[in-house]
Amino acid sequence: MNEHLENLKEIRSLMERSSKFLSLSGLSGISAGICALIGAWYAYAKLNVDGSSVLSNPEIRHEVVPQLVIGALFVLFFAFLFGVLFTVRKARKQGLNVWNRTSKLLLLNLMIPLGAGGGFCLGMLYHGFFWLCFPATLVFYGVALVSASKYTLHDIFYLGIAEIVLGIIALFLAKYNLICWAIGFGVLHIVYGTVMYFKYDIAPKHRELHSPIED
């Protein structure tokens, strides 16, 4: 009986590896969170001069907003860079190929909502709705995670839901947009990354994927 159970577990593991990208590293989430917190600190420094918000001054706002966009791009670049490095390192340790059909589907399902969100935020910046970009990025990022979760660890689904809920909350708390953004992209990523690191990187016996049917 035990032998049959082991065979079934092995078959299931092989099926999951062929349909799910399981090489996401918890360190990727932690590094992304740290980058986001640094970006939030930079944004706070730019938005608050002598204790007053830059957004209340149109002349300064037109100068600062492009700087914030550039800062956000730097945060995105380094978060993506560290994410790729840690993921590739973990995949090599597992003897897995990073660039395959599953990873391509994962990237596609992730990039479509992110691309739509990026275009939407650029439109809001063009029309002067700067404050809406903070909750919008959280919502679109959450949607992207939910969309991509079917091709990777199901834990990503719950992180996506948390990002969406936080983004909606931020819509009604305009004064705390940056704080919500820092919590969503910074704190939640660090917490998620830490949990994932101990769950899937440190303890191999807990690597079993939670499928939607089980949940």
- Cβ(123)–Cβ(140) below 8 Å: no
- Cβ(36)–Cβ(95) below 8 Å: no
The CA distance from 93 to 103, in Å, is: 17
Q: How many CB atoms lie within 10 A of CB 35?
A: 23
The CA distance from 146 to 6, in Å, is: 31
Radius of gyration of the chain (CA): 19
The CA distance from 30 to 103, in Å, is: 21
Which candidate, 123, 115, 129, places its Cα nearest to that of 76?
Answer: 115
The CA distance from 211 to 30, in Å, is: 24
pLDDT of the residue at 214: 42
The backbone torsions φ and ψ at residue 173, rounded to the nearest 5 degrees and listed phi first, read -125, 70
The CA distance from 191 to 177, in Å, is: 20
Looking at the domain assignment, is residue 209 inside a domain? no
Looking at the domain assignment, is residue 214 inside a domain? no
Looking at the domain assignment, is residue 2 inside a domain? no
* Per-10-residue mean pLDDT, the chain, length 215: 49 48 82 94 78 58 80 90 87 78 87 94 86 93 93 90 96 90 95 89 52 43
Residue at 194: amino acid letter: T
Looking at the domain assignment, is residue 58 inside a domain? yes
Looking at the domain assignment, is residue 151 inside a domain? yes
Q: Residue 186 corresponds to which tokens in the numbers above? A: 């910074």
Question: Considering its fold, how many domains does the chain have in total?
Answer: 1
Residue 160, domain extent: 26-204
Looking at the domain assignment, is residue 173 inside a domain? yes
pLDDT of the residue at 54: 59
Looking at the domain assignment, is residue 212 inside a domain? no
| pLDDT tens digit sequence for 87-119 | 888 888 877 777 788 888 888 999 999 999 999
The backbone torsions φ and ψ at residue 49, rounded to the nearest 5 degrees and listed phi first, read -115, 120
Looking at the domain assignment, is residue 155 inside a domain? yes
* CA dihedral angle for residue 95, residue 99, residue 100, residue 103, rounded to 10 degrees: 100
pLDDT of the residue at 155: 87
Whole-model pTM over 0.85: no
pLDDT of the residue at 21: 66
pLDDT of the residue at 167: 96
